[in-house]
Homo-oligomer: A and B are copies of this chain.
Amino acid sequence: MSKSSPYNHDLPALLSLAFSGIIQELHEQLDKLGFEDIRPAHGFLFQRINPDGATGMEIVEHMGITKQAVSQMIDYLEKHGYVARHPHPQDGRGKIVVLTERGWALIRAREAIYAVIEQRWAALIGAERLVQLKSDLDQMIRSTNEGELPPRLRPVW
């Protein structure tokens, strides 16, 4: 029995490594494309405001952090030109956070990078197995969440 590491890689570790590996590759590529000011956590926010924008509270629900933290993150992304705050058309208290052109450029870059990664995986384990993998993960996530995909992506934990 060959052991490639002095410690076990159980299922959680495999999931964590797979995820971290993708994120790391994503941000290496983004850095090269001039998006060095984007951190992994920002991805969760972008995922929510893409494509139609979202209010702060919608982002809060999605990310599972406080509204103050979300507000600060929006400050940062606005200052760096990725998003803009618009007044909410229906609710005078609210604002909608939308992507700027630079924000859209980031989204397109990310999608392209993800596509490359997925293609490499498909070539590696087979397109069919990749579909199966996604389906299995989907099922497993739902099973711990009353049959639904969680409405929020908890950032890491």
Residues of A in contact with B (beta carbons under 8 Å apart): 4-5, 7-27, 40, 47-48, 50, 62, 114, 117-118, 120-121, 124-125, 129-130, 132-134, 136-141, 143-145, 148-151, 153-154, 156-157
Contact = CB atoms under 8 A, between A and B. Distances in A.
Contact of A10 (B40, B114, B132): B114
Contacts of A151: 5
Contacts of A138: 9, 14
Main secondary structure of the interface of A (DSSP, over half): helix
| Number of copies of chain A assembled together | 2
B18 A137 contact: yes
B144 A16 contact: no
Given A15-B15, A19-B15, A137-B15, A9 B144 contact: no
A133 B136 contact: yes
Contact of A24 (B11, B153, B157): B157
A48 to B, nearest CB: 6
B143 A136 contact: no
B156 A156 contact: yes
Q: Which 5 A-B pairs have the closest CB atoms?
A: A15-B19, A14-B137, A156-B156, A40-B157, A17-B141
